[in-house]
Amino acid sequence: MNSILQCLFAIKPLVGYFQSNEYLKHIKKGSGQVARSFGDLVKEATSNGVLSPHMFKRHMQQRATQFEGNDQHDAQEFLRLLVDCLHSDLNLVDTIPKFNYSDKDFDALSHQDRALVSWNRYLRYENSVIFSIFGGQLESTITCQHCYNRSTTFEVFWDLSVPLPQKQNMTVMDCINEFFKEEILDDQYNCSQCKAPRKSTKKLSIYQLPPILVVHFKRFKSGGYIRGGKVSAPIRFPTEDLDVHPVLSNIDGSQLGTKYHLVAVSNHFGSLHGGHYTATTRFNNEWLDKNDSTVGQGRLDYEAAYILFYEQSR
């Protein structure tokens, strides 16, 4: 928990939102305990640096009983739950709208318009400042291997959970490229042009980039050649100018501005069955290691890095 909190405190747009008290206007009456207690933590962290997360932890446990007690939990699981709780507490949508678009109408739209309609449709249900910070959009294209007809859909994403390719001298872009590489579908796809099940491929790309790009390395395995183990191979990543242009959609109209700079890293030391999380965060262009109550001069550890937090460069 502490590692993820310290990483989130390094994200300027998130901290600024809670420091301004703007979030209090977005909490619905009778709800928002997680958002309120997180806001209190942000103010504690930015005023005196001393945190008392007991109330915050209690509210998180009320939302997810798996976090009761003092057992260690996966940092990525906790991060996703926390971001989801904050988004839910601060969702600006009061009533669920109805849409007039039929599937036929939607399919007749251009790729750009489909992406826009899909994005706006999501915002009609799920719209918060939290999503505006972490939310992006993926394009998914399925290609029939018989007639090469393409079917394209769009969906939102909050982070990228990327596999580790089996190679030497891995980089974060190797892992991202592995996530986005074209794959052959195990099940045959019902091609709308062939009117029959066909062998098909699926290719993901990014259509809309998030202001904060979260990259999670799948270091923990439950099977395969490292059954029940952890991949501790070093993964190199830049602190400046991470360029994700190679995995951006090639559809005209997709977002530009593809470079990111690193603001925080959640590290894991140890094994699958026991270990310890720390945070390495950027402060005034210097790096600090934050290990529970200890703060010291930081360095990036390519073998321990587990979750990277990148901010879009302007």
Give the separation between CA 138 and CA 254, rounded to whole angstroms.
11
pLDDT number for residue 106: 79
Query: What are 236-246's pLDDT values in tens digits?
Result: 999 999 999 99
pLDDT number for residue 255: 61
CA proximity to 309, closest of 56, 18, 75: 75
Query: What are 124-143's pLDDT values in tens digits?
Result: 999 999 999 999 999 999 99
Contact partners, residue 82, CB within 8 Å, separation at least 6: 4, 8, 34, 38, 60
Distances (CA, A) of 199 to 137, 147, 190: 26, 10, 9
Low-confidence ranges of the chain (pLDDT < 50): 223-227
Name the residue type at position 215.
V
pLDDT number for residue 75: 93
Q: Residue 269 corresponds to which tokens in the numbers above?
A: 């030391």
**HEC letters along 1-14:** CHHHHHHHCCCHHH
Question: What is the C-alpha radius of gyration for the chain, rounded to an integer number of angstroms?
Answer: 21
Element (H, E) at 128: none
Sign of the four-CA dihedral 223, 227, 228, 231: negative
Buried b (16+ CB within 10 A) or exposed e, 88-116: bbbbeeeeeeeeeeeeeeeeeeebeebbb
pLDDT number for residue 95: 80
The gap between the terminal CA atoms of the chain, to the nearest Å, is 30
Contact partners, residue 258, CB within 8 Å, separation at least 6: 209, 243, 244, 245, 248
**Count of Cβ atoms closer than 10 Å to residue 304 Cβ:** 21
pLDDT number for residue 197: 94
Q: Residue 133 corresponds to which tokens in the numbers above?
A: 């910070």
DSSP state string for 228-277: T-B----EE--SS-EE-GGGB--STT-----EEEEEEEEEEEEETTEEEE
Helix, strand, coil content of the chain in percent (nearest 5): 35, 30, 35
Give the separation between CA 60 and CA 296, rounded to whole angstroms.
28
pLDDT number for residue 253: 55
pLDDT number for residue 107: 78
pLDDT number for residue 224: 37
CA proximity to 135, closest of 6, 296, 14, 42: 14
Give the separation between CA 204 and CA 182, rounded to whole angstroms.
7
Give the separation between CA 106 and CA 278, rounded to whole angstroms.
46
Give the separation between CA 191 and CA 64, rounded to whole angstroms.
41
pLDDT number for residue 25: 95
β-partners of residue 137 are: 156, 208
